[in-house]
Amino acid sequence: MTLSGINPILNLRRQFGQELRRFAAAVDVPLIDGMEQAAGLQPADFGDYVHVCKPAARHSFTDCLAQRTIDALNGVPSTQADSRQKGKPQ
Protein backbone atom coordinates (compact mmCIF):
# COMPACT_ATOMS: atom_id res chain seq x y z
CA MET A 1 0.00 0.00 0.00
CA THR A 2 1.35 3.41 -0.91
CA LEU A 3 1.64 6.31 1.49
CA SER A 4 -1.31 7.97 -0.22
CA GLY A 5 -3.36 4.83 0.54
CA ILE A 6 -2.39 4.93 4.22
CA ASN A 7 -3.21 8.60 4.85
CA PRO A 8 -6.99 8.17 4.46
CA ILE A 9 -6.89 5.29 6.97
CA LEU A 10 -4.89 7.37 9.45
CA ASN A 11 -7.28 10.26 8.95
CA LEU A 12 -10.26 7.99 9.63
CA ARG A 13 -8.63 6.68 12.82
CA ARG A 14 -7.85 10.21 13.98
CA GLN A 15 -11.38 11.39 13.20
CA PHE A 16 -12.89 8.37 14.97
CA GLY A 17 -10.76 9.07 18.06
CA GLN A 18 -11.79 12.72 18.14
CA GLU A 19 -15.47 11.86 17.80
CA LEU A 20 -15.20 9.19 20.49
CA ARG A 21 -13.56 11.63 22.93
CA ARG A 22 -16.26 14.24 22.23
CA PHE A 23 -19.00 11.67 22.78
CA ALA A 24 -17.46 10.44 26.07
CA ALA A 25 -17.20 14.02 27.33
CA ALA A 26 -20.76 14.82 26.26
CA VAL A 27 -22.25 11.88 28.16
CA ASP A 28 -19.76 12.18 31.04
CA VAL A 29 -18.30 8.67 30.86
CA PRO A 30 -14.65 7.72 31.36
CA LEU A 31 -12.77 6.82 28.21
CA ILE A 32 -10.15 4.11 28.30
CA ASP A 33 -7.68 5.42 25.75
CA GLY A 34 -4.18 4.40 24.63
CA MET A 35 -4.90 0.68 24.60
CA GLU A 36 -2.76 -0.01 21.53
CA GLN A 37 0.38 1.28 23.21
CA ALA A 38 -0.40 -0.23 26.62
CA ALA A 39 -1.05 -3.66 25.09
CA GLY A 40 2.07 -3.43 22.91
CA LEU A 41 0.13 -3.80 19.66
CA GLN A 42 1.84 -3.32 16.30
CA PRO A 43 0.26 -2.25 12.98
CA ALA A 44 0.58 -5.84 11.69
CA ASP A 45 -1.75 -6.99 14.52
CA PHE A 46 -4.71 -5.24 12.86
CA GLY A 47 -6.85 -6.46 9.98
CA ASP A 48 -8.05 -2.91 9.36
CA TYR A 49 -7.90 0.31 11.36
CA VAL A 50 -9.85 -1.01 14.37
CA HIS A 51 -9.98 -4.83 14.40
CA VAL A 52 -7.23 -6.81 16.16
CA CYS A 53 -6.88 -10.04 14.17
CA LYS A 54 -3.86 -11.91 15.54
CA PRO A 55 -4.81 -14.19 18.46
CA ALA A 56 -1.82 -13.25 20.65
CA ALA A 57 -2.46 -9.54 20.07
CA ARG A 58 -6.16 -10.00 20.81
CA HIS A 59 -5.26 -11.76 24.07
CA SER A 60 -2.87 -8.94 25.04
CA PHE A 61 -5.52 -6.32 24.24
CA THR A 62 -8.21 -8.18 26.21
CA ASP A 63 -5.88 -8.62 29.18
CA CYS A 64 -5.01 -4.93 29.14
CA LEU A 65 -8.68 -3.92 28.82
CA ALA A 66 -9.68 -6.16 31.73
CA GLN A 67 -6.91 -4.73 33.93
CA ARG A 68 -7.79 -1.15 32.96
CA THR A 69 -11.45 -1.82 33.79
CA ILE A 70 -10.54 -3.28 37.19
CA ASP A 71 -8.22 -0.34 37.87
CA ALA A 72 -10.89 2.19 36.85
CA LEU A 73 -13.39 0.56 39.20
CA ASN A 74 -10.78 0.71 41.98
CA GLY A 75 -9.85 4.34 41.24
CA VAL A 76 -6.31 3.59 39.98
CA PRO A 77 -5.10 6.25 37.49
CA SER A 78 -4.50 4.84 33.99
CA THR A 79 -0.88 6.07 34.01
CA GLN A 80 -0.16 3.79 36.97
CA ALA A 81 -1.97 0.92 35.24
CA ASP A 82 0.05 1.53 32.06
CA SER A 83 3.37 1.33 33.89
CA ARG A 84 2.37 -2.05 35.36
CA GLN A 85 1.26 -3.34 31.95
CA LYS A 86 4.53 -2.36 30.23
CA GLY A 87 6.53 -4.54 32.61
CA LYS A 88 4.49 -7.58 31.60
CA PRO A 89 6.04 -10.16 29.26
CA GLN A 90 4.44 -10.21 25.81
SS (H, E, C) 19-38: HHHHHHHHCCCCCCCCHHHH
Q: State the pLDDT at residue 22.
A: 93
- Across the chain, which has 90 residues, the per-10-residue mean pLDDT values are 60 85 90 86 86 94 92 77 51
Q: State the pLDDT at residue 58.
A: 96
Q: State the pLDDT at residue 89.
A: 44
Q: State the pLDDT at residue 35.
A: 86
Is the pTM value of this prediction over 0.75? no
| 65 within 8 A of 57, measured Cβ to Cβ | no
